[in-house]
Amino acid sequence: MRSKRPYYPQRKLRYFSATTKDMHRRRVIVLTLFLVLTALLPTTFAQRKNGRAKPTRAAATIGARGVETISAAQLKSYLYFIASDEMEGRDTPSRGLDTTAKFIAMNLGRWGFKPAGDDGTFFQHIALRRDQLDTAHTSAEINGQKFNFGEDFLPNAISATISGPLVYVGHGWVIKSKNIDAYQGVDVKDKIVVVYGEGFPKGITRADLTGKMGEDWISPALYAQQHGAKGVLAIPDYGMLLRWEQTRQRAMSATGRPYVEKFATQVGPPIPLIWLSPKMATTLFQGEKFDAATLLNRGLAGDQVEPFELGPTKKVTFTIAARTESPSTQNIVAIWEGSNPVLKNEYVALGAHYDHIGICAPASADPICNGADDDGSGTTALLGMAEAISHAKERPKRSVLFVWHCGEEKGLWGSRYFTDYPTIPLDQIVTQLNIDMIGRSKKDGDTNPRNANLSGPNQIYVIGSKMMSTELGDLSAAVNRSFLNLQYDYRYDDPNDPNRFFFRSDHFNYARKGIPIIFFFDGVHEDYHRPGDEPQKIDYQKMEKVARTIYMTLWEIANRPVRPKVDKQLPAQLTQRAGYCSPGGACVQTCAARRAAIARFGCAPTMLSTTWPFLNMSSVGILRMLNCAEVRGLSSTFSLAIL
């Protein structure tokens, strides 16, 4: 066995003393190594003398661009003003919309933006025209029998007195590609034309209206104008009857429906277009070759009768009184000038529509459609980005064009006007980023079917990013992945999307001019175009994330050495917008919206059967079987005038 060492008390004392010194030395070495390793870690973890984090290159870029200026609190502050009841729903035109425009322009001026509207202002003014019926002096009679406005007939607001011979022409359409001509052997000059309904001939959709309007296809009203007719009377179809009361109330309101003067294309003097009630139509065709019941039932079945002239003893006189007003509205246009002496002559365009649908439920406890999400969210996001870029430590190489469009809800008025009458060279716009509804999120456990396609808190629908430019789509996706990595959902990025979302917001008018676009959208929800679209329901954290991501996208586009290459033709399905409009616009929205309108106005088959007592049951039954295509085919009030 091993022997023991001798015991020396002094050596033990020296041993413990040495051990203590070694431990101290080791602690010093460990601490030194820790400090060295800490110095070698990424700079985001090192501390400056002032105690603030030293940023990485990416963080420095974000800071220099001012992205953190865009915050949930900032967006909420702006939106609670823009979507307040005091703005009265921001209809086009309205004082609420004008107040919102002044608020936006005031901030742009404070932040140092360059005005790009008319006469050195931020406003691009748009002249409107509004024709209003004078119902007290509007009348009609047939062979001495008097009829009342509203109850018996509904005219458009064209001052005129018409009388003369009448000719019935069925659907009244000419569509050369389908060999359809309702006027073979018929001369309508100096006559009153009578048509059935306001829809298309059987088997025809808006997609069949190819070629040039007025030559390759001609609507009843346009044909009447071109060929010298005195006016058009319409026997009501189901679509017209469903909207009769709504149309009557609108005609009797204090203000008529405005339209953009520069968009009006007249081929001749305007002529009266008059809906007839069942009672008046019955009287008109009493004793004629076909009575009103026969014309209605055959028209409903698509079995049109041959044109015929009404008897010479049928004396009809309409007197329509109207007055004209000339209101106006405006786009808001501003430029943040780029830093590169060459590239600053090109623009990355940002857009949103700042209008909504105004007082939408006048008889209810909550009459105002505030439009917080649609499109207060986009309007506010643009404001947030404008404030951020004005606070950035550097300028982008290209200039940034901010446009708040008016009249989107009327049929994309503002974007159409801006792209038809631009205040900057349109071919210098390299990309347009459109923001329309980015503020709502679907909550966990939400089973409301109207929220079925609402995007989640970290999700946004992206439409059109690759339809015209592969480079733009790739850039957009790459920026998102490297920044906040939102869930970009491309389900609606499809030319065959049945919702037709591509047509339903302002980016469309830029795309039709050859400008690549990206459309950001949160999806339709339970408060879409309803009074419930209010600012307290907005997900401001989501708004912040989406707005920041779009903001970073615009910076990347603005700083590229070359503009995104347009390497694709816009799909043929997306080159014509005929028959589709913005949410809430003048024309039919969606099948669901039309069905909701039918339910709202209580137009059941029994009511129609009572209105038209001579309808047979097979005709009434057709209403019960309205499918999506038929509902979509029901066009707007006085669509004859529009077409």
- H, E, C per residue of 381-433: HHHHHHHHHHHCCCCCCCEEEEEEECCHHHCCHHHHHHHHCCCCCHHHEEEEE
pTM attached to this predicted model: 0.75
Residue 17: CB atoms within 10 A of its CB come to 10
pLDDT for residue 255: 67
Span 362-386, average pLDDT = 96
CATH 3.50.30.30 fits 135-320+591-642, yes or no: yes
pLDDT of 302: 80
Q: What is the pLDDT of residue 599?
A: 32
Structure-token match 């404030």, residue found: 387
Over 80: is that where the pLDDT of 14 sits? no
Whether a cis peptide bond, with omega within 30° of 0, leads into 93 is: yes
Q: Provide the pLDDT for residue 262.
A: 94
Percentage with pLDDT > 90 across the chain: 66
Sign, Cα dihedral of 298, 300, 301, 304? positive
Peptide bond into 375 cis (omega under 30): yes
Which pLDDT does position 250 carry in this prediction? 76
CB 143 within 8 A of CB 315: yes
244 vs 583, higher pLDDT: 244
pLDDT tens readout for residues 57-67 = 578 888 899 99
Report the pLDDT value the prediction gives residue 207, as an integer from 0 to 100.
82
Q: Does 625 have pLDDT greater than 80? A: no
Calculate the average pLDDT of the chain: 83
The answer to whether 154 touches 126, Cβ cutoff 8 Å, is: no
The pLDDT value recorded for residue 8 is 39
Token pair belonging to 349: 């365009």
Q: Do domains 72-130+326-574 and 135-320+591-642 have the same CATH topology?
A: no
For range 53-58, the mean pLDDT: 55
pLDDT score of 22: 55
CA distance 517 to 473: 9
More confident residue, 240 or 184: 184
**What pLDDT score does 514 carry?**
96
| pLDDT band with cut points at 50, 70 and 90 for residue 241 | confident
Pair of tokens at residue 627: 């499918």
- As given in the structure block, the two tokens for residue 137 are 């002096």
Residues 298 and 291: their CA atoms lie apart, in Å, by 11
- Give 8's contacts (C-beta < 8 A, 6+ positions apart): none
| Overall CATH class of domain 72-130+326-574 | alpha beta
Helix 378-391 / helix 540-559 crossing angle, nearest 10 deg: 50
pLDDT for the residue 45: 31
Condensed to tens digits (0 to 9), the pLDDT of residues 316-342 reads 999 999 999 999 999 999 999 999 999
Nearest C-alpha neighbor of 402 from the set 127, 120, 113: 113
- Counting every residue written for the chain, the total comes to 643
Q: Locate the domains of the chain by residue range.
A: 72-130+326-574, 135-320+591-642
Q: What is the pLDDT of residues 506-529, one digit of tens each?
A: 999 999 999 999 999 999 999 999
Residue pLDDT, tens place only, 556-594: 999 999 999 999 988 877 776 543 333 323 232 333 333
Q: How confident is the model over 82-101, as pLDDT tens digits?
A: 999 999 999 999 999 999 99
Q: Where are the beta strands (DSSP E) in 418-493?
A: 429-435, 459-463, 487-489
Q: Identify the pLDDT of residue 44.
A: 34
Query: Rounded distance, CA 467 to CA 469, Å?
Result: 6
E strands in 136-287? 139-142, 145-147, 153-155, 160-163, 166-168, 174-175, 180-181, 192-196, 217-218, 231-235, 258-260, 273-276
The model's pLDDT over 382-428, given as tens digits with 9 standing for 90+, comes to 999 999 999 999 999 999 999 999 999 999 999 999 999 999 999 99
Instruction: Determine which of 161-175, 480-494, 612-626 has the lowest per-residue pLDDT on average.
Output: 612-626
> 3-class DSSP state for residue 256?
coil
Using the Cα atoms of residue 101, residue 102, residue 103 and residue 108 in order, give the sign of their dihedral. Answer: positive
H or E element at residue 451: none
* Contact criterion met (CB below 8 Å) for 347 and 205: no
Mean pLDDT of 248-276: 81
Q: 536: which residues sit within 8 A by CB, 6+ positions away? A: none
Instruction: Tell me how far apart the alpha carbons of residues 294 and 292 are, in angstroms, rounded to a whole number.
Output: 5
